[in-house]
Structure 1
């Protein structure tokens, strides 16, 4: 990938003397921006293009060429790339369109490009892309009008976009906001270089601190995961906008897990798993990138102080902070009294309201800040100063006070929100203070910084996936009843209730006596996925008479509601203790393979789809993160006098399931463990029902 972003010499295939055309713009940009290496226009129709000697082919260029920018009609692209490969060109950017995006022969041409890249080792970006930029090297290999006049500031943000138009739009936003940019690339049809390749390169680039990405779909699971993992290991922060959702991988109606898993949810789980921040809007995408690109301290916690000149805005910020999961803890009582002494009509709790009196007494700024940091112990402070930033003298005086505070508390993160002139913004940012016009965006940026800090800590301590027991059974090759399914899962470390299958009424009575009353009776059939829907489960049976009666009742219901189903008899199972019902599952995603699902049982899954996903395998800490994500997890903490649940046993089971699913990914279509009852702390957890769907042959 090095020749793509750091070429010493560049050739432009299809170069035009007209700088407004696709073949003319890259050459014009490269000349105008001051690229310090040789430029070679390639066009057999003109001896000189834009004042530079032109060559019929790149093979005719007298010196070496590292990067070729290709802007010729689609039929001529592959011959041009073959010429580049013969020359030993390290990388090529194909701006031309008319390939897989239009189908037909275009798709065949793109296959040829992929084959050539693999054969020659030349890296190819595109086709149908916008190109590449390296701001520090003043390389602008693109035709997007967004690059006109350059105007880009070197910085620590690198951007990769699958969409060329979106990448161009982002470039305009970066210039408009004055953000510091390092590398920029759009991948287009991804015949060779894809999103993951670029993330991997950025992860190893010393000039990149923040990776901004726009992704529509992954092309290679292993490459993407490796790239995200590398970025995390190297301390890079990734902010991604993922668009598009699909029902692919959610067609198995008999599986709760499959019906709940959409590809978008799987991406969401993957991003959480690897510490990627998923932005839900373009503003958020660049707000977070901006916040992460400045050399501000890493928050040590999520305790947020809010300082304001407006009580109304303070309340608004507090609402958003609560929504973001930040801790807007009140100031200590003694500190509140001291604030009242400084300004009797202030709001001292948190938000701390300095009121408009700040304009009359600028010392309030420093005094309030110091009290909040020293007495309140806040990890971050967001300060709203209305339009103070439009007055240079006033804002400069406040900055001097702020710098004294930051010198005293160098480990705290401070975010300012105020309307500011460009001059004031530059002064504040030069001092390492981030500045937002809109206060709620400042709060959300604070939440993103906390997220990255927590993820960095989690990355340092994350546990490896557990070992799969040597006695673990392989998945069944055909549909099996729940007893057989739970036996397979138990062998993999997922505990299940004690149970037996009885083919006759007499056998059921003997099994119940062996297990001990009370017991549960369920229809044993691989053909009936959800027994409760046909009344196929009877609980709390207290004696032999009830077991015999239940056997006949369930057999009649099976014949009535599922006459074609094969009935193996009845499952006689122990009555599990009272606990919280959850659901564990596995679904085979078309891109990411085995994906694990966790959710609370009942209405939380059925109505709210309150579930979390992760790509298998992973360790218990990732399992705990899944548990924390679901909104219904409060049920596990113990409500209305109920004891707390055994979350450790639950996390162990989720991690064990992930390892088993990853090992047998090729043989599994889905697994449902529903319900998986989590007993009180110290008593474990048990699978009460299970369904394993083997992957169809072929």
Structure 2
């Protein structure tokens, strides 16, 4: 249950607030203040009258009515605090940061159950426990750093793990990826990944809401619900990428001890993601890179031009794209020679287009113009430009900025010198762009996106399916639930599923002859009766 009080609370209390910003209760209060929260902010600390300039109360019983409570106190204290706030202070949203619940002990699981019973009784939202919190454009109720740039057109991140959410943000911020909301669901006692997706799907506003969702999942509690709402969002124009961790035996054990997650087989996860249209990723870097690609104009084809002044990265990117089924077509003929004549001697235009280390911003502009306007077999451009520190890159990156504003073909900026050209990269990102510092990771991400299937159609297709016959067969199955082999075959036939041809006979010699005609270098013998109902046939034991 996701309430308005969780998303847009008019008042927030931090229970366990501290003046020590290195503690969760102090850090989350600091983030709320620095984030410019506009509502009433309160603190509960029995030893202070004021915490970080915020009025403090000795006990939750002294509080006025409050929309959202953030708990940073020991697990054993949480159930009573939640009960008091929900029953007497009209609190309808809770974020519990504390660990020590069902992910650790049976006693902790019982504490979780008490909390869940209370919040459900009063129609309240619960995030956690065992999480870093929730932040959106309204309030920054997290105790962690970094706080990314937040705006309504940024990315929605939903993570089972709080620490992983932090590290995803670290990766994203360096790339310039911006966010709309960050959800750390922790143990997901009430609200899990599927619940957040369902809320986003059922309340989706294409004009106001983010069109990009990134997921880190440790437990898929309800695969059908995840499939339904993820594919629904994608059909509405959203793009979704996800990591499913804990699919191996050892990984599932680690996930269970972390957030109490239940394992899912890797093949089942793969099938689910492909049917939903989710782009599957396997690392934080892949996930944030895919998220950055999602922010750029959509690809209309698989042909890429690589424009660079460094040969090696161009070669590695060519390999990465080719391995992913994408193309780096050779550029040749009159147009290619025409372009080459306008570059420095020694420049190559066969693709990659290498303008040399001495290439100028005007050379970059010229190459982009040829790819945009003249090379018809090019669908998108990759621009790899860094520096060894001998020159600044401001003018080169200004050309990229200018062309990314006007070109119809996507341009992927690969700016690897995040230290040597740190100021230039920062200025480029400040203009609202993203940066792909590693060309191979970008190539891998693009291949995952391009090769991800569209969501499966939600309607059930019944072409070639004999539904009445299927019903008759099912009704004839004994009450013990055992299905004879001939009934299984009958069901498959009725469903229009092709089967291997069979020879119907109870004569051993005829069966052996048939087996030999089929090319079996073996003897086949009858080991079961002939069935003449819906399909008929014999049970064979091939030796």
Question: What TM-score do you get using the length of structure 1 for normalisation?
Answer: 0.64
Quick check: 1:91 aligned with 2:93?
yes
Judge conservation of contact 2:15–2:44 (CA < 8 Å) in 1. Answer: yes
In the other structure, the counterpart of 1:416 is 413
Distance across 2 between alignment mates of 1:447 and 1:246:
24
Deviation at 1:326, TM superposition (A): 0.8
Distance across 2 between alignment mates of 1:168 and 1:118:
29
Deviation at 1:440, TM superposition (A): 2.2
In the other structure, the counterpart of 1:110 is 112
Change (3 A) 1:364 1:15: closer
Q: Which runs of 5+ in 2 are unaligned?
A: 251-262, 533-537
Q: Deviations over 1:492-535 (max 9, x none)?
A: 11133553543343xx64x89xxxxx8337xxxxxxxxxxxxxx
Deviation at 1:282, TM superposition (A): 1.9
Judge conservation of contact 1:202–1:208 (CA < 8 Å) in 2. Answer: no
In the other structure, the counterpart of 1:160 is 158
Q: Which runs of 5+ in 1 are unaligned?
A: 249-260, 513-517, 522-537, 559-566, 573-687, 692-698
Distance across 1 between alignment mates of 2:140 and 2:163:
16
With 204-213 and 325-334 compared, the bigger mean Cα shift is at 204-213
Distance across 2 between alignment mates of 1:179 and 1:237:
15
Deviation at 1:311, TM superposition (A): 3.2
Deviation at 1:448, TM superposition (A): 5.2
In the other structure, the counterpart of 1:466 is 461
Distance across 2 between alignment mates of 1:690 and 1:380:
57
Deviation at 1:68, TM superposition (A): 0.8
Superposed, which structure 2 residues align to 1:186-201 within 5 Å? 186-201=184-199
Change (3 A) 1:214 1:182: same
Judge conservation of contact 2:223–2:272 (CA < 8 Å) in 1. Answer: no
Deviation at 1:285, TM superposition (A): 1.7
Change (3 A) 1:31 1:401: closer
In the other structure, the counterpart of 1:7 is 9
Distance across 2 between alignment mates of 1:178 and 1:115:
41
Equivalent residue in structure 2 for 1:478, among 479, 482, 496: 482
Deviation at 1:34, TM superposition (A): 2.7
In the other structure, the counterpart of 2:257 is none
Superposed, which structure 2 residues align to 1:196-345 within 5 Å? 196-203=194-201, 204=204, 206-246=208-248, 263-293=265-295, 296-343=296-343, 345=346
In the other structure, the counterpart of 2:371 is 372
Distance across 2 between alignment mates of 1:240 and 1:230:
16
Quick check: 1:492 aligned with 2:495?
yes
Superposed, which structure 2 residues align to 1:37-56 within 5 Å? 37-44=39-46, 46-55=48-57
In the other structure, the counterpart of 2:435 is 435
State the secondary structure of the residue aligned to 1:54: strand
State the secondary structure of the residue aligned to 2:359: helix
Distance across 2 between alignment mates of 1:315 and 1:464:
45
Distance across 2 between alignment mates of 1:191 and 1:80:
17
In the other structure, the counterpart of 1:130 is 132
Distance across 2 between alignment mates of 1:98 and 1:434:
39
Change (3 A) 1:376 1:440: farther
Distance across 1 between alignment mates of 2:171 and 2:403:
33
Distance across 2 between alignment mates of 1:209 and 1:67:
27
Judge conservation of contact 1:486–1:689 (CA < 8 Å) in 2. Answer: no
Judge conservation of contact 2:171–2:284 (CA < 8 Å) in 1. Answer: no
Give 1 or 2: higher strand fraction: 1
Q: Deviations over 1:24-83 (max 9, x none)?
A: 332233234331111122345555444433335545433x42211112222221111112
Deviation at 1:382, TM superposition (A): 0.6
Deviation at 1:690, TM superposition (A): 12
Deviation at 1:402, TM superposition (A): 6.7
Judge conservation of contact 2:130–2:186 (CA < 8 Å) in 1. Answer: yes
Change (3 A) 1:20 1:368: closer
Change (3 A) 1:450 1:399: farther
Superposed, which structure 2 residues align to 1:655-670 within 5 Å? none
Deviation at 1:365, TM superposition (A): 2.1
Equivalent residue in structure 2 for 1:554, among 487, 504, 524: 524
Distance across 2 between alignment mates of 1:184 and 1:131:
8
Length, aligned pairs only: 503
Superposed, which structure 2 residues align to 1:443-592 within 5 Å? 443-447=443-447, 450=450, 458-459=454-455, 462=457, 464-467=459-462, 468-470=465-467, 471-472=469-470, 473-474=473-474, 477-481=481-485, 483-505=486-508, 509=510, 519-520=514-515, 539-540=518-519, 553-555=523-525, 567-569=527-529
Deviation at 1:436, TM superposition (A): 2.6
Distance across 2 between alignment mates of 1:463 and 1:69:
39
Quick check: 1:66 aligned with 2:90?
no
Deviation at 1:93, TM superposition (A): 0.5
Q: Deviations over 1:191-231 (max 9, x none)?
A: 10111222334553734232222111112223322331232
State the secondary structure of the residue aligned to 1:358: coil
Change (3 A) 1:391 1:240: farther
Distance across 2 between alignment mates of 1:143 and 1:432:
26
Change (3 A) 1:11 1:230: farther
Distance across 1 between alignment mates of 2:30 and 2:433:
37
Judge conservation of contact 2:161–2:185 (CA < 8 Å) in 1. Answer: yes
Change (3 A) 1:310 1:492: same
Change (3 A) 1:390 1:140: farther
RMSD: 3.6
State the secondary structure of the residue aligned to 1:211: strand
State the secondary structure of the residue aligned to 1:238: strand
Judge conservation of contact 2:492–2:498 (CA < 8 Å) in 1. Answer: yes
Judge conservation of contact 2:364–2:399 (CA < 8 Å) in 1. Answer: no
Distance across 2 between alignment mates of 1:404 and 1:195:
38
Change (3 A) 1:405 1:212: closer
In the other structure, the counterpart of 1:583 is none
In the other structure, the counterpart of 2:387 is 387
Distance across 1 between alignment mates of 2:196 and 2:391:
42
Judge conservation of contact 2:148–2:178 (CA < 8 Å) in 1. Answer: no
Distance across 2 between alignment mates of 1:172 and 1:357:
34
Change (3 A) 1:192 1:390: farther
Judge conservation of contact 2:176–2:435 (CA < 8 Å) in 1. Answer: no
Q: Deviations over 1:638-693 (max 9, x none)?
A: xxxxxxxxxxxxxxxxxxxxxxxxxxxxxxxxxxxxxxxxxxxxxxxxxx9999xx
Change (3 A) 1:307 1:32: closer
Question: What TM-score do you get using the length of structure 2 for normalisation?
Answer: 0.81
In the other structure, the counterpart of 1:634 is none
Distance across 2 between alignment mates of 1:351 and 1:323:
16
Distance across 1 between alignment mates of 2:5 and 2:540:
53
Superposed, which structure 2 residues align to 1:638-677 within 5 Å? none
Distance across 1 between alignment mates of 2:99 and 2:404:
55
